[in-house]
């Protein structure tokens, strides 16, 4: 496979003779710790190409994508334009796709997206910008698509194509079933694609059913292709695309036939690749404690045995003979791993007073800790760690819950109407403001002022629900804090970046509490979304306060949001729950009534949040039990963030 671009660090790594690791892989790929770092390097490759074409007095033809994946690349190109004089005067662009039908000025249109993120900020000639037009009448669509394809040809073909990948394996909007030689055309969107797009359209019913997309054939003609994938949501499709067979069911696998493609991945998206997930199957490993834990837990699942029953043969047959030779026999490895796992279990998440804490996840002292539970939305606290929260309060710690955002956009208009009508009746039907809010909510119209008021009502609903839950757990109201971080308050799914205002609120709060323990939502692999921004806010805050004496003794524990759990090998503290505690947690979640019954932003998992988390905590308990440890009803899991 020839790879023209030498920008990517792992190419040098491969040249150093580490080919064996790539045994199952059919597409060149590079993995970065973060999407931030990766995006800067991709932008650099594009900028180098533009400049090299300029030096030769040639046009540079770029194929561009939308979606969350390329946003940071575009930001970096804009920065290079503004700060380093990178000019786009010789650039011609063709966007991959557009929803159909779709007006250009609609905020969900890819036309809007491209201008918002890139074209409005650079010196590209507007005539050189091509984005499929979602307003073309149906009867002209066929010819329009042929012309789009011809236009690419006329300017010499694509020099560079930037791609994202959908969970269906689509590139552009080439959904499963697309032909390897397809060209620009209209297409019906897959249901999964529509679900993924539904948050930005505020509900699946608003997502168009069709789109115009460049074809697989059009994309494959590009001289160079770079596909971006961020976050664990993409891990499965990335593994299937890179390691699977070419199939129209995963259209991105057609890229295996292109000889100058690089997939640029972050750690989350790469997590399922064989060389990352089970490196012992492809290469000899340096057996760190973490890798050993990962491998032995994997081996138990693979051979369906508890740790203490693993044999030398099991290790040898599954790529772990090196570990056996270094640290075996199996008997010794098994006992030591059993103890390691056992030591992660504790019913004392704030530390056990007057106990030897050498083998416990938390310190015994101070006996009464000040604890902050950061909850990105007003319900993640009880959903993700309701049992642990309850124990911390019961065991006498000074627990503070801080809701980082108002969570207002996840409340439906119907719910807001109910409360607006209630308040209107209770105040003698006199309040003109409430009357106009009721009118607006009933007849679905809005204005900037009313929008603000409606969001306020929605935020208040969530506040009162949260107080219901925290009171039920026994927390005094003065230990419940609503931070309402400003980055969230856009009224749409798209959030602002973290600003100094957000960080000042966070810092002031943490400095007042002076915590010994912080719990935060650790959706590390999620490249976008509120949870990731909220975690960034916590990490930034801790970093900027690290000089303070109280921070020297502060530990950070990460829980996972409603969507995923830590892998068993990653868990550093597992808090068991009795059947009664499971019930208590369920009741605490029930206080968040606006989030029940087919709430917005639920994704394609139709189970209500309390069902998901009960399944999840039972599953964690079962996995521990399958490894040969004690059987509990449920377990909440945490991973410590080591600074
Ligand atoms: C967008 C496009 C799509 C996206 C894909 C991933 O122009 O063609 O194929 O690249 O749906 O979207 P994100 O990046 O939002 O996960």
Of the listed ranges 3-17, 341-355, 433-447, the least confidently predicted one is: 3-17
Alpha-carbon distance of 415 to 594, in angstroms, equals 7
The alpha carbon of 239 and the centre of ligand 1 are apart by a number of angstroms equal to: 17
Pocket-testing residue among 96, 164, 218, ligand 1, by greatest number of atoms within 8 A of Cβ: 164
> End of a domain among 228, 243, 275?
275
Answer whether residue 486 is part of any domain: yes
The alpha carbon of 229 and the centre of ligand 1 are apart by a number of angstroms equal to: 9
Residue 464 shares a structural domain with residue 498: yes
What pairing do the DSSP bridges indicate for beta strands 91-95 and 60-64?
parallel
Residue 544 shares a structural domain with residue 621: yes
Closest C-alpha residue for ligand 1 atom 3 = 172
Question: Which among 614, 411, 382, 387 has a CA at the least distance from the CA of 521?
Answer: 382
Structure tokens at 137: 């009448």
Residue 335 shares a structural domain with residue 405: no
Query: Is the confidence at residue 396, as pLDDT, over 80?
Result: yes
Q: CA triplet 440, 452, 532: central angle to 5 degrees? A: 120
Q: How many structural domains compose the chain?
A: 3
Answer whether residue 358 is part of any domain: no
Q: What is the pLDDT of residue 342?
A: 98
Instruction: Give catalytic residue positions.
Output: 175
pTM, two decimals, is: 0.86
Q: What is the pLDDT of residue 363?
A: 96
- The 10s digit of each residue's pLDDT in 289-299 is 999 999 999 99
Q: Establish whether residue 166 lines the binding site of ligand 1, counting it when its CB lies within 6 angstroms of any ligand atom.
A: yes
> End of a domain among 246, 275, 304?
275
Q: Establish whether residue 96 lines the binding site of ligand 1, counting it when its CB lies within 6 angstroms of any ligand atom.
A: yes
Answer whether residue 164 is part of any domain: yes
Query: Is the confidence at residue 10, as pLDDT, over 90?
Result: no
Q: What CATH code is carried by the domain that includes residue 380?
A: 3.40.50.10320
Q: What is the pLDDT of residue 23?
A: 87
Kindly report the number of other CB atoms within 10 A of residue 621's CB atom. Answer: 23
Mean pLDDT across 240-255: 98
Q: What is the pLDDT of residue 598?
A: 58
Q: Establish whether residue 234 lines the binding site of ligand 1, counting it when its CB lies within 6 angstroms of any ligand atom.
A: no
The alpha carbon of 413 and the centre of ligand 1 are apart by a number of angstroms equal to: 29
Residue 125 shares a structural domain with residue 232: yes
Omega of the bond prior to 366 within 30 degrees of 0, cis?
A: yes
Residue 322 shares a structural domain with residue 399: no
Residue 41 shares a structural domain with residue 166: yes
Query: Is the confidence at residue 588, as pLDDT, over 50?
Result: yes
Residue 382 shares a structural domain with residue 529: yes
Q: Establish whether residue 171 lines the binding site of ligand 1, counting it when its CB lies within 6 angstroms of any ligand atom.
A: yes
Q: Establish whether residue 65 lines the binding site of ligand 1, counting it when its CB lies within 6 angstroms of any ligand atom.
A: yes
Answer whether residue 448 is part of any domain: no
Closest C-alpha residue for ligand 1 atom 11 = 166
Query: Is the confidence at residue 108, as pLDDT, over 70?
Result: yes
Structure tokens at 54: 């300029």
Q: Establish whether residue 376 lines the binding site of ligand 1, counting it when its CB lies within 6 angstroms of any ligand atom.
A: no
Q: Residue 517: beta bridge partners?
A: 371, 555
Q: Establish whether residue 66 lines the binding site of ligand 1, counting it when its CB lies within 6 angstroms of any ligand atom.
A: yes
Mean pLDDT across 585-602: 82
Residue 253 shares a structural domain with residue 306: no
Residue 270 shares a structural domain with residue 285: no
Q: Establish whether residue 68 lines the binding site of ligand 1, counting it when its CB lies within 6 angstroms of any ligand atom.
A: yes
> End of a domain among 240, 275, 310?
275
Query: Is the confidence at residue 536, as pLDDT, over 60?
Result: yes
The alpha carbon of 518 and the centre of ligand 1 are apart by a number of angstroms equal to: 35
Closest C-alpha residue for ligand 1 atom 2 = 172
Q: What CATH code is carried by the domain that includes residue 210?
A: 3.40.50.1360
Band of residue 604 on the pLDDT scale cut at 50, 70, 90: low
Pocket-testing residue among 64, 65, 97, 161, ligand 1, by greatest number of atoms within 8 A of Cβ: 65
Q: What is the pLDDT of residue 632?
A: 97
Residue 20 shares a structural domain with residue 136: yes
Residue 139 shares a structural domain with residue 81: yes
DSSP state letter for 263: E
Query: Is the confidence at residue 123, as pLDDT, over 70?
Result: yes
The alpha carbon of 164 and the centre of ligand 1 are apart by a number of angstroms equal to: 5
Nearest ligand 1 atom to alpha carbon 67: 15
For 386, the domain range is 370-409+460-641
The alpha carbon of 168 and the centre of ligand 1 are apart by a number of angstroms equal to: 11
Q: What is the pLDDT of residue 524?
A: 62
DSSP state letter for 250: B
Query: Is the confidence at residue 89, as pLDDT, over 60?
Result: yes
What pairing do the DSSP bridges indicate for beta strands 129-130 and 91-95?
parallel
Structure tokens at 495: 């959030």
The alpha carbon of 193 and the centre of ligand 1 are apart by a number of angstroms equal to: 9
Alpha-carbon distance of 83 to 215, in angstroms, equals 36
Q: What is the pLDDT of residue 22?
A: 84
Residue 91 shares a structural domain with residue 193: yes
What pairing do the DSSP bridges indicate for beta strands 185-188 and 210-213?
antiparallel
């Amino acid at each position: 496979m020839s790879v023209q671009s030498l920008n990517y660090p792992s190419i040098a790594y491969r040249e150093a003779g580490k080919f064996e690791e790539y045994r199952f892989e059919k597409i060149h790929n590079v993995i970065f710790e973060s999407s931030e770092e990766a995006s800067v390097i991709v932008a650099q490759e594009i900028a180098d190409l533009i400049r090299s074409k300029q030096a030769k007095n040639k046009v540079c033809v770029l194929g561009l994508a939308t979606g969350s994946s390329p946003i940071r690349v575009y930001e970096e190109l804009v920065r290079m334009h503004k700060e380093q004089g990178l000019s786009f005067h010789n650039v011609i662009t063709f966007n991959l796709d557009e929803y159909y039908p779709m007006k250009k000025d609609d905020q969900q249109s890819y036309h809007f997206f491209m201008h918002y993120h890139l074209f409005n900020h650079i010196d590209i000639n507007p005539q050189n910008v091509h984005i499929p037009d979602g307003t073309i009448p149906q009867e002209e669509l066929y010819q329009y698509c042929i012309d789009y394809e011809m236009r690419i040809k006329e300017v010499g073909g694509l020099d560079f194509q930037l791609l994202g990948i959908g969970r269906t394996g689509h590139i552009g909007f080439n959904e499963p079933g697309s032909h390897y030689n397809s060209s620009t055309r209209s297409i019906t969107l897959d249901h999964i694609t529509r679900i993924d797009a539904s948050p930005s359209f505020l509900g699946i019913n608003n997502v168009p059913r069709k789109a115009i997309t460049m074809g697989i054939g059009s994309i494959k003609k590009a001289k160079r292709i770079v596909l971006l994938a961020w976050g664990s949501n993409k891990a499965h499709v990335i593994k299937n695309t890179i390691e699977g067979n070419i199939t129209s069911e995963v259209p991105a696998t057609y890229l295996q036939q292109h000889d100058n493609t690089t997939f640029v991945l972050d750690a989350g998206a790469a997590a399922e690749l064989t060389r990352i997930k089970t490196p012992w199957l492809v290469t000899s490993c340096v057996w760190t404690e973490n890798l050993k834990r990962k491998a032995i837990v994997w081996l138990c699942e693979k051979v369906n045995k508890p740790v203490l029953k693993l044999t030398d043969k099991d290790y040898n047959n599954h790529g772990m003979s090196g570990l056996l030779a270094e640290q075996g026999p199996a008997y010794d490895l098994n006992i030591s791993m059993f103890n390691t796992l056992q030591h992660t279990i504790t019913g004392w998440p704030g530390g056990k007073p007057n106990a030897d804490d050498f083998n416990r996840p938390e310190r015994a002292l101070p006996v009464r800790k000040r604890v902050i539970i950061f909850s990105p939305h007003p319900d993640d606290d009880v959903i993700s760690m309701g049992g642990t929260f309850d124990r911390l309060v019961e065991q006498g710690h000074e627990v503070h819950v801080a809701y980082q955002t108002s969570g207002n956009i996840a409340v439906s208009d119907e719910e807001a109407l109910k409360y607006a009508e209630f308040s209107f009746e209770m105040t003698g039907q006199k309040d003109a403001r409430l009357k106009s809010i009721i009118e607006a909510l009933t007849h679905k119209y809005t204005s900037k002022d009313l929008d603000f008021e409606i969001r306020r009502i929605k935020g208040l609903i969530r506040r009162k629900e949260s107080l219901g839950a925290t009171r039920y757990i026994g927390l005094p109201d003065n230990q419940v804090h609503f931070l309402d971080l400003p980055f969230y308050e856009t009224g749409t799914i798209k959030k602002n970046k973290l600003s100094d205002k957000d960080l000042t609120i966070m810092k002031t709060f943490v400095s007042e509490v002076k915590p010994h323990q912080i719990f935060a939502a650790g959706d590390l692999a999620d490249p976008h979304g509120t949870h990731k921004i909220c975690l960034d806010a916590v990490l930034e805050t801790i970093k900027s306060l690290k000089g303070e004496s109280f921070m020297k003794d502060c530990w950070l524990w990460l829980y996972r949001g409603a969507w995923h759990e830590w892998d068993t090998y990653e868990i550093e503290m597992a808090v068991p729950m009795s059947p009664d505690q499971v019930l208590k947690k369920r009741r605490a979640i029930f206080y968040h009534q606006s989030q029940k019954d087919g709430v917005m932003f639920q994704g394609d998992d139709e189970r209500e949040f309390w069902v998901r988390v009960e399944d999840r905590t039972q599953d964690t308990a079962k996995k521990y039990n399958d490894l040969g440890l004690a059987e509990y009803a449920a377990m909440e899991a945490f991973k410590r963030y080591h600074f």
